[in-house]
Copies of this chain bind each other. A is one copy, B any other.
Amino acid sequence: MKAAAACGPERAAEYVEMDEEHNVSQAEEMLMAFNMQSWKPWRRARSMVKESVQWVQATVSSVVGLHWLSYVALGVLTALLSFCMNLTVAKLLRAHQWLTSRLEGHALLQFLCWTLYPASLCALSSSFSHSICPYSAGSGIPEVRCMLAGVELPDYLSLSHLFAKLVGLTCSLAAGSTVFLGKVGPFVHLSTMLGAYLHRLCASAAGVKEGRPKQEMLVVAAAVGVASCFGAPISGVLFSMEVTGTHYALRDYYPSMLAAACGALAFRLLSVGSGEQETVQALFKTTYSTHLPFQPAEILAFAVLGMLCGALSRVYLLCHRWILQFTRTNAVLSKIIATEKALYSAGVVFLLASVTFPLSAGHFMAAKLSMNQLLSSLLEETQWYMVSQNATVPQGTGDSLWQAWNPSGTTIYATLGVFLFMKLWMLVLACTLPLPAGYFMPVFIYGAAVGRLMGEGLAHASTNGASSQGTARNINPGGYALAGAAAFSGAVTHTLSPALLALELTGQHTHAVPILLATLLANALARARHCPSFYDAIAIVKKLPHPTSLLRTCPKLLSVQLGQVVQVPTAVLESQEGATSVEKLLHSSTEMIFPVVDSHESGVLLGSVSRMQLEAFLHGRGERGLDKKLVDQCTFQPVKIQLSTEATIKQAYSVLGAVREQCLFVTERGRLVGVITWSEIKRIIEEFAKDTSKH
């Protein structure tokens, strides 16, 4: 060691590494590499930097594990991404607004500006994202659900995908409330991609032996996605819990909460730093009167609202499923979408924008408001109808966002009605756009409008009933809007986390119980008779291997026994296998783990062997002779868990998820009859989906 130190610090550092590795041949290679790299400049500076980085790494990881730091980093990075995207989108939206206001008086120019700006942005979004990564269109949550359930979809976690989605989403969002698309779905996907990247970094820094399972990072990342999009940590964690297959591993709970809290905190602190907010607060903060937020009897009205939202969600989901099928089966449309994505996007957005043009139907549906303004206005405590009828109250008091809902020549009931009717089909149409975009926020706002309509009606009715007693200000339509938003979005996605999200978004805890009640009832109606959720429908159409989705279309599948569906594995090794056949097998198969049986005839399972072991076996062949058998060279991994042919697919799925293995072996009295992997489950599911679509 002392001799090494004499060669200078840079060599010493590398000698230390070698010392640790105790591998002479590798040390020689490194010395060669060192000599080859010696032309590089700043040798001393580089080695000092390297040493100090190593020192910092060692010091830090002796206090907290590297993976904890990666969770915190994930939270902060995602929040930063979210904040920057918000800033960019706001600038692009303001540019559009400024341009439209400058063209005041020139109706045609205004129309062109109103329609072509979002159309060109969406065309850009879809062509750009498609050219970088063909899979980047859509929300991404159906794919994230699959990955959280344990299926490997490496295409959906690449860095190029991250870039495509980031740029595409920014363009989609900048198209504004005309196209009516949201951010949260793609953001959850973005966050998982970032998480997967950080996980790779961590694994390479810490070495394989300390690596944590990637699954854990993905679950954490899903929570962070929601948390840093809305600054809502706990509902983020609940969301990630709800989308992870059948079992949630509790060891992911604390890391998720930590990362989500960091993400939410960073996101809100960035808002404070940029001067948007004075302190860390809810994103759509409401300040309802806390003295008597609602009468106990109003809980019934909230329950009715929940059921109404549940029923409406079924209509919406029906339309959504229909249009998904239609765009796939209609020959002309499917060809256009497949080949002319940019043109299709531009065309659809032009149509949507024409409808919402403020001098046409847009006048009656508050088209001038942005997505955030729509939500803020709907959540206001003011009783719109009362104030609009009451001429003595100056209409300009306070925030006048809601005035957009009360244009001259109509009432707010008519505007809300037109909004609900038009946005339904527009939303369904927007779902066919081949660009990265989220569908949660639009649904949330739609639900808020439903709740608002009901709340206004109730407030009106109660005033008419009790006008003599002067108790007109008792009913708060904003509370109904909040409950409606949570209930409708919960029903569409079949989740309960929107109830908590509504609370965290507004900081309005007074309405916690009625919101939860409405969301529960809406969910009950939406889930009845195995109706697939929004994400289920996409997963089914895209044929993603997501069992919960499949359960909706084919509930009997999960009780099918493995013996009926499992296929005899082709990539099986004998214990006496020689090097030639091992080499052939490695070339013909892409599996990572191979089962080993005592002989192909008896088929008794002895254990398994990994691709890495087999490669080492082939590598060692040259030195140690050609006639060596596998059994002499490799130690087989024992098979820890065996499934029998009588086990059901559901049990196989539960076990696969619980132990987080990539493959399980199916045996019958010790004989290997099949291998269950995620891709095998995908194959089985696809076969069944084919069968069900035939019948």
Contact = CB atoms under 8 A, between A and B. Distances in A.
Interface in A242-274: 242, 244-251, 253-254, 257-258, 261, 264-265, 268-269, 272
Given A640-B651, A641-B643, A658-B657, A292 B280 contact: no
A253 to B, nearest CB: 7
A281 interface: yes
A516 interface: yes
19 contacts: A241-B241, A241-B248, A242-B253, A246-B250, A247-B248, A248-B248, A253-B496, A279-B292, A280-B513, A281-B510, A508-B509, A509-B509, A604-B669, A639-B644, A640-B644, A641-B641, A642-B667, A651-B659, A655-B655
Contacts of A290: 285, 287, 507
A689 interface: no
B250 A279 contact: no
Given A247-B250, A646-B638, A517 B281 contact: no
Interface in A504-561: 504, 507-510, 512-514, 516-517, 520, 523-524
Interface string A283-299: 00101001011111001
A614 interface: no
Contact of A642 (B295, B642, B648): B642
A654 interface: yes
A106 to B, nearest CB: 44
Most buried by B among A279, A508, A645: A279
A299 B499 CA distance: 26
A529 to B, nearest CB: 12
A296 B595 CA distance: 58
Contacts of A514: 280
A5 B258 CA distance: 68
Given A513-B264, A670-B670, A250 B242 contact: yes
Nearest to A496: B257
Q: How many copies of this chain does the complex contain?
A: 2
Contact of A504 (B245, B292, B512, B639): B512
A516 B257 contact: yes
A233 B509 CA distance: 12
Interface in A220-249: 231, 233-234, 241-242, 244-249
A643 B659 CA distance: 12
B643 A640 contact: yes
Contacts of A29: none
Given A654-B659, A659-B655, A669-B670, A299 B278 contact: no
A513 B604 contact: no
Interface of A: 231, 233-234, 241-242, 244-251, 253-254, 257-258, 261, 264-265, 268-269, 272, 278-282, 285, 287, 290, 292-296, 299, 496, 499-500, 503-504, 507-510, 512-514, 516-517, 520, 523-524, 604, 638-648, 651, 654-655, 657-659, 667, 669-670
Contacts of A523: 254
Most buried by B among A639, A659, A669: A659
A520 B638 contact: no
Which 4 interchain pairs have the tightest Cβ spacing? Answer: A658-B658, A638-B646, A640-B647, A670-B670
A133 B496 CA distance: 40
A584 to B, nearest CB: 28
B261 A513 contact: yes
Contacts of A242: 250, 253
A655 B648 CA distance: 14
Nearest to A598: B669
B658 A247 contact: yes
Given A280-B514, A638-B646, A654-B658, 12 more contacts: A234-B512, A242-B253, A244-B250, A246-B251, A257-B496, A261-B513, A280-B294, A280-B299, A641-B644, A642-B667, A655-B658, A657-B658
Contacts of A265: 299, 513, 517
